Structure 1
Amino acid sequence: MEDVIILRKLSVHDTEVLSTLANNRNIWNNMRDIFPHPYTIDDAKNFIAMVSKEDLQLTFGIDFNNQLVGVISFIKQPDVYRKSIEIGFWIGEEYWKKGITSTSIKKMIDYAENSLDVNRIFANVFEHNIASMKVLKNNGFIEEGISIDAVYKNNQFHNLHRFYLLVKNG
């Protein structure tokens, strides 16, 4: 039987699984500080409530064989950047290196091309997150530059790698 990957809206029923998956320092190390560690049940509840209301964010749970394994989002940009959208994603560590992230990104690109009025998807990746850089490149993203010492995480500065993909609207 073939593995099935579905992107869907998060619900309150995902709270416990989301909290368990996200409560991982290896995931937190690759995320902005708004992503807490430790990641509690209350954090999961608040996140699900926020993304269900938020107008500027399109957030989906990643289901792998009917099991929530992570989250992928588009974040709309304001003002003169309104035709660009940021992509962000994470999956539980036990699901790394299974092609789940790559397939999820492909689905988001298709969604942007067919349903959103954007011309550009971009991603910002911390320098130590080699796997995310690789999965973006494998999905056609181009590295457009490196911002030196742009990130302050774990009491030290890190470079930020910037990627983009021009969207073919359809």
Structure 2
Amino acid sequence: MSHEAIMTTVPVLETENYRLRGLREDDASELFGFMRDKNTMKFITPDPVKSETDMWQEIQMQLENFAKRKELPWVIEDKDNGEVIGKFSLHKLSMWHRKAELGVIIREEYQKKGVVTEVLEQIIHYAFDTLELNRIVGDIFAENEGSEKLLKKYGFKEEGTMRQTDFDGKRFHDTVIFSLLKSEYDALQEGR
């Protein structure tokens, strides 16, 4: 299947407990409910969305990026209750360079409960085996020990630290870059 055919709609991906489906305009209210929370967003941005209108505009931007084949935006739903519990994207997507960055936000009450552990495997599989990407990047705040541990669990290699990349209003934060290559992913799959 061609990349053009793949990129006409955001695919539904399923795990045992979660469903990833394409981001929609009508997700603004549910996403705003947790993406406005500073604690939920502490490793993402010091300046979370301020209104449902801002959230809707952010969704519009992501949908425009999808139309330009620069992003695949999903929401994560809990299969038990259908609630939107997070957002996941492959952004900075380049089909020419065959690479993308991971972006994930999980509602606070679902954090540290294995959600990302469960969905990340499905995303990585989709990125390498369906989209045929060669490189996936995860860049995280240096203090984000949980994400660092998770990326390493899936074979991501630390590439380095970008110093003082983000300001939170009080201090600067370093960003640590991790990546996983298709050849590394294949080797890990053969070893299982």
TM-score greater than 0.5 by the shorter chain: yes
Equivalence for 1:47: 58
| 1:157 corresponds to 2:168 | no
Structure 2: stretches of 5+ with no match in the other structure: 1-14, 187-192
Counterpart-to-counterpart distance in 1, 2:22 and 2:58: 12
TM-score by length of 1: 0.85
Equivalence for 2:152: 137
Instruction: Report the more deviating stretch, 24-33 or 58-67.
Output: 24-33
Counterpart-to-counterpart distance in 1, 2:55 and 2:165: 28
TM-score by length of 2: 0.76
CA RMSD of aligned residues (A): 2.4
Note closer, same or farther for the CA distance 1:12–1:127 as it changes in structure 2 (3 Å cut).
Answer: same
| 1:68 corresponds to 2:73 | no
Note closer, same or farther for the CA distance 1:25–1:112 as it changes in structure 2 (3 Å cut).
Answer: same
Deviation string 1:94-150 (CA, Å, 9 cap, x unpaired) is 100111111121111011112213211011111111121122122221212122323
| Cα drift, residue 152 of structure 1 | 2.5
Please show how residues 1-170 of structure 1 align to structure 2 within 5 Å: 4-32=17-45, 36-54=47-65, 55=68, 56-65=70-79, 66-77=82-93, 82-167=97-182
Counterpart-to-counterpart distance in 2, 1:150 and 1:53: 26
Counterpart-to-counterpart distance in 1, 2:64 and 2:125: 23
Identity of aligned residues (%): 28
What SS does the aligned partner of 2:143 have? coil
Spell out structure 1 runs of 4+ moving beyond 4 A: none
